[in-house]
Structure 1
């Protein structure tokens, strides 16, 4: 380690080069872990490992990582100051920049500010940290749902042990937006994990310096190698012909092989015993038996595996967001093979993804391949798969533990469910597909009930949002007086159906976005001025299979019809708000009484004990709700005070309209 005594420039935020290098070498593993956990999860584990190492190695002064950083907080942890804080801030700033790409910027490229050479570079290998246990996987899922500043704050608090004030200053120095909000989210995550948080973060699941290696897809790489040299040969011949003046016909083009050899054979597929689901503690896709009349049709299944391995030209391929399209790995499971309508359909599950292959059953035609994520599915999110979709109708293949299926319209809250016929193989009759365009006059959903062999009288709702797996709908009721925070429950009660009836028309907005579940949380109610009735504030959270979630904060009154869409008063994307790690929320909106007078209304969740409004209206009030006379469209900022003294910004932080 360098022992140079050259002083760092004071007030400028600069440090001696040898001091920064000493910090990077001495704290390399910790800095890489911090970068790895802060980077966006949709980069993938291999890419995050490489980028994390690159960002730490580029943290030496002289590499351009963005705007000049402001002064960073002094640290008292035995590593050189100000070099340690300076290096840590530069690493954080670079990692946070990956969440701030310009619109349309390619996802495989780093942000524009980091387009200098990014070493290390690895060819022909995939790198990823060693797998941890269930708790580490659960923590990884939680971190993926949080924002990048919140992830960074969580690591700084739990792993580095920094005081909260230093965390806020360090995030500010790194250019993080709203560092106080990130700190609150990190504290909620830490409270949920308790004393185990530090041990989990130190596990091999998050150690990007202790990695495993695997080759990339060898078959595909071999084909691309041959195609590349073929293309080079063709280009050389064309250039030679042009140079010698010889006119030639159009050069032939290579195409992908429609009869590509599958990565695995039908004989290598896993087939779960038919009754395994009734005697297992893991009730998910792994418990599905192989069903359908063509499970022994090796020719069909081999074609499906071949198309999955290397889709030929003309194949319609649909891959969900943040889902790998890699060929079938060993251990892939066969779920279904049979004829559904006019198509022959094969369904697979490989532990992380579900895959549907379809081809015309009667005459030759183009095949289709759809791939979606399914990791950590459970009794509800693995309850059904879309087995066919045609002409506004769809059919489901239900899980073997589903004892009863019904359809119901989510708009009329009092409409009864209608029985849905299910074949012995588990395929349902055709049901209406929710329309993504036009007037919202109905919203069909499935109501399923599990067998008593695994759970007693467990009924739940799922809705088609354009993917292979329908989204699970749940409901969290209004807080009770003096009661602990309530947990989401099934959306089958009268109160849940009344609340969902006012939100149902927003569901089509979530189509094709990889949504795993949607929870409707009624977080506050208040009496409206001038005897205007009662208002309910709700937060609708859509959580995706890949981790991040989006929320809609909505406001509805008792004076409106039972199916009138609630008013949207706030939106946020890639946030932990309205989840178990973002249990506090405040929102505001304008409202007009029957007399024509205008009011500003605001409300917060159960831990709010005061609301402050600034802007066109300046007022502070105790309690969880506020109603004050205001201009017609006030430009205001709403904040809340929690019972522990913390401040809370409204979701979306936009002017109330």
Structure 2
């Protein structure tokens, strides 16, 4: 028998933590997919998948605070990860509360809550949207969750998706207006803890499929819609001709409606232009203090074309964006970072606080214009050191931050070769050979950009995005920039595998040597290195466990995973294994974990146990094994696949 959603008691207004709107906005952009997933899972399944998707997005987009007074949130924050951000904790509470309200039963004597009504925005006409279908396990879990009350469903999701202990779940539910959090937790215990399934595409309202609505009914109303459209056109003609903002602007698509805020965002005169030396006295050093540079910063026609294409790119414009980068025009007048002629193109680089946008068009017209986006929210001094200005003939030019003193080119595969100075003029580097076109097997060099400022030297690599990725080395949580001979030699054997992380929205890549293992045939010691790529969107992280024997120029990938916390600051542990052939011809299963691994067990095609963090046991060629490790704390971890 299915239980009905129970309306929680209204929460007092004082329960809401007061959070600065800018901090909450940054948290919303950074964690938007997760907040929408949370709302989707808590909303009552009786709404139907299409309305749940739209309502989840609507509730999340309305979660921003209206005030600007900063205070400490009452919701407990975990020591690491997104929950250390009070802005995220506040948004999670707002989303959870309104999702629970959406399940209340409408009463005649009371006005409905806004969350109980169909969302005004977003709306999609003529299509039904729903998440991608999962497997049998996801379907079974969805059915079990639909049988729970709203508070119990919320308790299950906070346990599984947010990884909160029951004490924190109880406190969050109480703050969200649940009258009896203990009952909700007890009811949630009836559903098996298949928490990993909550990350499935089945429950992802940001990755959607589309199907048409009732086509027959739409045909019946087509004639009426055409008549209404004709009437609107006549009214528009009577009101007067549209102004400049209505017409196509270069390669931009035409605009048929005027909106004062949108038109202000397209006005070149409204662009923010930071003075050249403002960064020296600023309290923060990021893209917001970059000055406007280039020989075309006063070209209003070019700037207007760039803004118009950003707002509504035409069919002939090539548009690219890193994964997780929001689409659409700037919310207001953006900041101008650069406008000038580079090689054979006119280039404009803009920044809206969340994204860097690069518009490029040929110097002899606008045909073949391109628009590129990259997320940069939360970028600090290191991440805001350079932006790709142009690519041509396998080379890349960078626009450097004003605080960068020196720039050089370095080949990661040749750590002892030294760095070659790059010519820099007006903040623009001379062409640097880009490594992104190489295949891993044919990788003969990996050129990176080395920048130096008053805080030190760091390496940045081109991964086919607007903003180069920062390279670091060391234990997660204590990683440092790649400087000095030791760090450079540590990176060299694993550089070519950076190509596997291209075009993934990568913010930084860390290489960590987590174990050294003596080979069973006595021919030396092999190195185990974990390479982890962190993304701007806070999801989609890529992890490679690599194995290198003595004398090998490059490491070999032993295991890889995506969207896992292993080898990261949240979970600095990793376990991986590889089948290795000795010079004498025998095969072995070699496995290694971090130093605090107390034991490793292999099951399946290979059986073996080690009472430390290194396992070596005889195996057969092609054998498959499953690895499990036990840490000194007693926690069990699985091997990367």
TM over 0.5: yes
1:544 maps to which residue?
535
Residue 636 of structure 1 pairs with residue 619 of structure 2: no
Q: Distance in 1 between matches of 2:337 and 2:568?
A: 32
SS at match of 1:376: coil
Q: Distance in 2 between matches of 1:52 and 1:289?
A: 40
Residues 102-501 of structure 1 aligned to structure 2 (within 5 Å): 114=49, 120=55, 126-130=61-65, 139-140=81-82, 151-154=161-164, 156=166, 158-160=168-170, 170=189, 173=192, 175-177=194-196, 233=226, 258=253, 263-330=265-332, 332-423=334-425, 425-438=426-439, 439-450=442-453, 452=454, 455=455, 458-476=456-474, 487-501=478-492
Q: Distance in 2 between matches of 1:236 and 1:46?
A: 36
Return the offset for 1:643: 1.0
Check the 8 A contact 1:320/1:513 in 2, yes or no: yes
2:8 maps to which residue?
25
2:561 maps to which residue?
572
Return the offset for 1:437: 4.3
Check the 8 A contact 1:525/1:535 in 2, yes or no: yes
SS at match of 1:377: coil
The superposition leaves residues 85-129 of structure 1 with CA deviations (integer Å, 9 ceiling, x where unpaired) of: xxxxxxxxxxxxxxxxxxxxxxxxxxxx94586674888995233
SS at match of 2:42: helix
Q: Distance in 1 between matches of 2:460 and 2:72?
A: 27
Q: Distance in 1 between matches of 2:36 and 2:436?
A: 42
Q: Distance in 2 between matches of 1:443 and 1:475?
A: 17
Distance verdict in 2 for CA 1:619–1:378, change over 3 Å: same
Check the 8 A contact 1:554/1:570 in 2, yes or no: yes
2:141 maps to which residue?
none
Q: 1:58 aligns with which of 12, 32, 44?
A: 44
Residue 503 of structure 1 pairs with residue 494 of structure 2: yes
1:555 maps to which residue?
547
Return the offset for 1:266: 1.9
1:89 maps to which residue?
none
Return the offset for 1:490: 1.2
Q: CA RMSD in A?
A: 3.9
Return the offset for 1:277: 1.9
SS at match of 1:537: strand
Q: 2:573 aligns with which of 557, 575, 584?
A: 584
Check the 8 A contact 2:30/2:537 in 1, yes or no: no
**Unmatched 5+ residue regions in structure 2?**
17-26, 89-156, 172-180, 200-220, 231-246, 256-262
Return the offset for 1:340: 0.8
Return the offset for 1:331: 5.1
Q: Distance in 1 between matches of 2:608 and 2:60?
A: 60
**Unmatched 5+ residue regions in structure 1?**
1-13, 34-40, 65-112, 183-227, 238-253, 478-484, 653-657
Residues 8-19 of structure 1 aligned to structure 2 (within 5 Å): 14=1, 17=3
Q: Distance in 2 between matches of 1:304 and 1:310?
A: 10
Q: Distance in 2 between matches of 1:287 and 1:500?
A: 32
Return the offset for 1:632: 2.4
Check the 8 A contact 1:262/1:306 in 2, yes or no: no
Of 361-370 and 463-472, deviating more is 361-370
Q: Distance in 2 between matches of 1:414 and 1:172?
A: 58
Q: Distance in 2 between matches of 1:122 and 1:600?
A: 48
SS at match of 1:366: coil
Check the 8 A contact 2:312/2:328 in 1, yes or no: no
Distance verdict in 2 for CA 1:502–1:263, change over 3 Å: same
2:611 maps to which residue?
622
Return the offset for 1:135: 9.1
Return the offset for 1:547: 0.7
Return the offset for 1:513: 1.1
Distance verdict in 2 for CA 1:526–1:275, change over 3 Å: same
